[in-house]
Structure 1
Amino acid sequence: MGPGNNTLISEFLLLGFSEEPELQPLIFGLFLSMYLITVLGNLLIILAVSSDSHLHTPMYFFLSNLSLVDICFTSTTIPKMLWNIQTQSKAISYAGCITQLLFFLFFGGLDVFFLVVMAYDRYVAICHPLHYMVIMNAQLCGLLVLLSWIMSALNSLLQSLIVLPLSFCTNLEIPHYFCDVKEVVQLACSDTFLNHMVMYLVSVLLGGGPLAGIIYSYSKIVSSICAISSAQGKYKAFSTCASHLSVVSLFYGTILGVYLSSGAMHSSNSSAAASVMYTVVTPMLNPFIYSLRNKDIKRAVKRIFGMAGTNGGKKCPCFWGHRTKNQKL
C-alpha cells in the first residue's frame, strides 16, 4: 500500500453491521438481549458453583473461571457497539481501540486456554479416576489457571504493542463492530510484515496447539470409554465430559467457520456477522449447555432461587475434599 497521510490520528470509525437507520433499533435490541443473557447466565453459573459445596471440585472451579472470562470477553465489544448505536456515532478513540484490541485478545486467549485445561481435567477424571483427586489438587489447578492468565496476557500485550508503531492512512473505517487486530493492521500505511508474521505464529501456537491438546485428551477419553464393559458405565463416563465437548465443538467450529470462509467472503459485513458466533453466541450458550444435562448445576440453581428441598444430600467437606460414594466426577 502506498504512503498516505500519516498524521497523528485520534479515532477510528466502526462501521458495524448496517448503515440503514431502520435496522439500528433491531440490532440494538438483539445484541442487548444476547449480552444480558450472557452476563446473567454466566453470573448464575458462578453463583451456583460458589454457593454449593457439592460443586467445590476442579471441574466446576474451571467452569466458574470460564464463565467469568465469557462475561469479560463479551463486555469488551458489545457495550461499545450498543453505545455507538444509541448515540448514532461510529467513532472509537485511538486509545480506546487499542485498549479494546488488548482486552479482546486477552480474554479470547483465556477462553482457549481454559477449554484446554478443562479437557485435561476430564482426561484425568476418565482415564485415571483413582488418582484424580491426587493429580488435580488445589495447587495444580491454581497453577494451570495462573499459567493461562500469564500466557494470554503475554500474547495480548505482544500483539497490541506491535500495533502502536504503525502509521495509518486517511481511511480509518473498520468494517467491523469492534477493533479486530486483523482489520486494524489492514488500515496501516507502514510496513505490516512483522504484524502478519506474529498473527500467523500466534494462530499456529495458540490456535493449533490447544486444539491438538484437546483432540489428544479426547482420543484418550474415547479409548478409555470404549474399554468399559457395561453400557451404563460408558454412559456415565461420557456424560461427565459431554457438556465440555459440546462447548469445544461450538467454539472451535464457529472460529474455523469464520476463518475458513473469510477467504471466500468479499463482504466485510458478512465476516463481521460471522464473528458474532464465537464472540457473542458461544459465550451466551455456554451456561445453557452446562446446565441442561447437569443435575448438580440444576440443583444448585434451584437452591439459589429457594426451590430446592431440604434434603440436599450430604455436604462435601471442602474444596478438593474427599468425595462421598455417590458424588460424580
Structure 2
Amino acid sequence: MDAGTDQVVITDVLLRDGLQSEPVALPLEERVRLAYGLLAAGLTSLEIGSFVNAEKVPQMSGTEALMARLQPGECALLHTLVFNERGARRAIAAGARDVRLTVSASDGHSRANAGAPRDAALARLGPAVDLLTASRVRLEATIATAFLCPFDGETDPGTVVELARRLAGFGIRVLHLADTIGAASPWHIRRTVTAVHEALPGLPLGLHLHNTYGMASANVWEALRLGVRRFDAALGGIGGCPFAPGAAGNLGTDDLVNLCHHAGIATGIDVRRLTSLREELRVLLGHRLDSALSAVPTAPVPLRIGAGTGAC
C-alpha cells in the first residue's frame, strides 16, 4: 500500500446512523447546522437520513425537510437510505439524487430491521430500483451484517457474494459492506472483501464499521491493504443499530481521519474544524462521545506530508 499517494472518501453518517440511536430526535435546525459544519470541515459525502416508518425510527422524521434546507453545491453528495418502493417515492419527491439501498445478509437481522427475511426484502427493492433509476437517482447499496449477525452468527462470504451479484444487477455504483454489530476482525474483513473482489472485480467497495470491540481501526487498516478506499464513519463515534442487539457506536470520523493522516493518506478534511464541531456535538447531545479522540486533549500533532490534501 503506497499510502502517501492515496486518498480515501469518507462518508459521515452522523445525521443518520449516528442520531438514529439517540433517545430523542434533534430539531431540524440543529441537524442543518451539523450538516453544514461537516461540509465546512471538508466532508464531501454525508448520509443525512432515511425514508423509513417514523413510528419505528422517530429520529429520522423530517428527512424531507432536512434535504430541502441543504444546498451543498456540486462538491458534496447527500445520501439517504431506502428499503422499499414507498421509501423510493418519498426520496424522489424530496429531490434525492443519491440513494443507498439496504439489505441484510442474514435472515435474522433482516426480519428485525426490514420486517421480512432476506430474499423477500431484496425482492421488495426491485420496484424501488425501477422508480429510482427512471428518475436518474444515483444508486449505492449497503449489505448489513456482512460479517456477523447478532441472531444468526457468522455470515458466509458466499452469501455476501450472492447478494453483491444481485445488487450489482440493480446498477449500483458502490457496494458497502457493514459490520453492523462491530464484532468483525481483520480476518473477517480479509475473507469477505477478498471474496467479493474476486467475484466482482469491477465493483467499488466501501466499509461501514462499528466499534463495539475496539477493532474498527484495525479493520480499516486491513481494508486499506486490500485496496478499499471508501469508509463510513460518524463524528464522535456515536450511533448504533436499534435492531441489532449489542451494536455500539460507529467508527469515529475523527478517529478515521487521524489514522489516515498519520499514515499520509489524504482525506481533504480540516482536523481543527472537525474537532471544534465534535465539541459542539457533545454539548448538543449532553453526553460523552465514543470516539477515542473525544477523550484526549485536542492539541494538534505532527502529520505526514500531504495528509490534508484533496478536494472535490
Structure with bigger RCO (C-alpha 8 Å, 6+ apart): 1
Higher strand proportion (structure 1 or 2)? 2
Same fold (TM over 0.5): no
Bucket of the pairwise TM-score, normalised by the shorter protein:
under 0.3
TM-score by length of 1: 0.27
Higher helix proportion (structure 1 or 2)? 1
